[in-house]
Amino acid sequence: MEVVGGHELQERIGGGITGSVWRAGQLAVKVFNDDENHVFRNEVKVLMRLDSHYLAKCLHAGMSAHPAVHGVKMTPYIVFPLYGPALNRRLRDDNLPLGVVKTLARCLFGGLSALHRSNIVHADIKPENILSNGEAFVIADFGVSVYAGERVTDTVGTPEYLAPEVILDQMWGAPYDIWSAHLVIYSALTRTPLFDIYSEYDVCYGDDVDGVATDGVAMTDDEDASDPTALAYRTLMLMVKVIGPMPNPRRARRYLDVNGQPVGGPVTPIGVESLLLQLTSDDMCEPKSAAEFITAGLQWNPDARPTDDAVLAHAWLAHGQ
């Protein structure tokens, strides 16, 4: 059994391109690939600044030495408490009761509030990076987090959860997290992403999205799915379809016309509520107020999005379960 930093790695519980996460008794050890030192440093730098019930806690971080062909190999690692399953795994198994989704929202925006008060933008809010913690949830994975005020225009994050300003290579900051977090709440209610860009079937969006997809930039084969321009177009088109045309679309000229509609042809906005009605049962999510909650966060203009504290004070969270 491999040992890292004195911890026996018992079972692989997660991981991706930058490394892997292992269970070690009641701990979780995130082991970074040797060439991902910058991601490790970034994550540690952020974790050291933070202390909130709603953010994953770093217990220890270090470099573990292993014999290698030329001298000693150093593997960076971070030790966390072992939390419960990530949100994506819980959604794979079953629907979350409404009360749990509201708890999720309180934890998520509570964690973001602490993060944003420290001037940090998470930049990759999605179900995989939100972990169960008993009845509550914590935000994890600060590998690509940045300090607000640093000039950031790089595209960082996961396609389904990217905010429009990120897709359009514009400056982004805390409102990016606010956008993604509202999409996470939608995913938690419906078990599908709102902007399901990889799906070939627009079950809920109706025919005209299919039409535009093929008139504009088709996404029906693998080649197109890997083309960032096609992906950006498709995502922006779905955004118009759900939240309406983009005002001031000057900087999105490549994808949207002067009316803020997709260049391949206009689509009719349907709104979040009708999607919730199709995908959930009434008593399950209070579709009207849930839709109002989600729509409030999905503003094209980042400055028009609510702050974390405003979200936490929203009637949907304040009342009921």
Ligand X SMILES: Nc1ncnc2c1ncn2[C@@H]1O[C@H](COP(=O)(O)OP(=O)(O)O)[C@@H](O)[C@H]1O
d(C-alpha 315, C-alpha 130), whole Å? 23
The reply on whether position 28 binds ligand X by CB under 6 A is yes
Question: Which of 13, 242, 285, 298 touches ligand X (CB under 6 A)?
Answer: 13
> Taking CB under 5 A as the criterion, which residues in 141-160 touch Mg ion?
141
Q: For ligand X, which residue of 55, 102, 113, 141 counts as binding (CB under 6 A)?
A: 141
**Using rule CB under 6 A, residue 15 touches ligand X:** yes
Residue 15 one-letter amino acid: G
Query: Which of the ranges 50-58, 92-100, 133-141, 199-207 carries the binding residues for Mg ion, by CB under 5 A?
Result: 133-141
How are the residues of the chain apportioned to helix, strand and coil, as percentages rounded to the nearest 5? 45, 20, 40
| DSSP-assigned beta bridge partners for residue 16 | none
Helix (H, G, I), strand (E, B) or coil at 95: coil
Q: Which of 22, 77, 83, 300 touches ligand X by CB under 6 A?
A: 83
Q: Which of 65, 66, 63, 67 is CA-nearest to residue 76?
A: 63
Token pair, residue 313, equals 């004070």
User: Going by C-beta distance under 8 Å and a sequence separation of 6 or more, which residues neighbour residue 227?
Assistant: 217
First to last CA, the chain: 45
Residue type, 66: H
Figure out which of the listed residues 131, 185, 275, 298 binds ligand X, where binding follows CB under 6 A: 131
Based on the shown chain and the rule CB under 5 A, indicate whether residue 129 belongs to the binding site for Mg ion.
yes
From candidates 5, 7, 9, 18, binder to ligand X by CB under 6 A: 18
Instruction: Looking at the chain, list the stretches that DSSP marks H as alpha helix, in order from N- to C-terminal side.
Output: 37-49, 87-93, 98-117, 164-167, 174-190, 207-215, 222-225, 228-243, 271-279, 282-285, 287-297, 308-312, 315-318
Shortest Cβ distance from residue 272 to ligand X (Å)? 26
Measured from the CB atom, is 126 or 241 closer to ligand X? 126
Stretch that binds Mg ion, among 112-120, 121-129, 182-190, 283-291 (CB under 5 A): 121-129
User: Does residue 149 sit in helix, strand or coil?
Assistant: coil
Shortest-Cβ-distance residue relative to Mg ion: 141
- Pairing type for strands 136-139 and 130-133 reads antiparallel
Least distance (Å) between residue 140 CB and ligand X: 5
Q: How far apart are CA 69 and CA 63, in angstroms?
A: 18
**Is the Cβ of residue 141 or residue 308 nearer to ligand X in the bound state?**
141
Q: Is 47 in the site for ligand X (CB under 6 A)?
A: no
Q: Does 165 bind Mg ion (CB under 5 A)?
A: no
Nearer to ligand X, 111 or 143 (CB): 143
Stretch that binds Mg ion, among 2-10, 113-121, 138-146, 304-312 (CB under 5 A): 138-146
Minimum distance of ligand X from residue 36's CB (angstroms) = 9
Q: Is 156 in the site for ligand X (CB under 6 A)?
A: no
Distance of CA 41 to the CA centre of its chain: 21
Please report, as ranges, the residues that interact with Mg ion according to CB under 5 A: 128-129, 141
Please report, as ranges, the residues that interact with ligand X according to CB under 6 A: 13-16, 18-19, 21, 28, 30, 56, 80, 82-83, 86, 128-129, 131, 140-141, 143
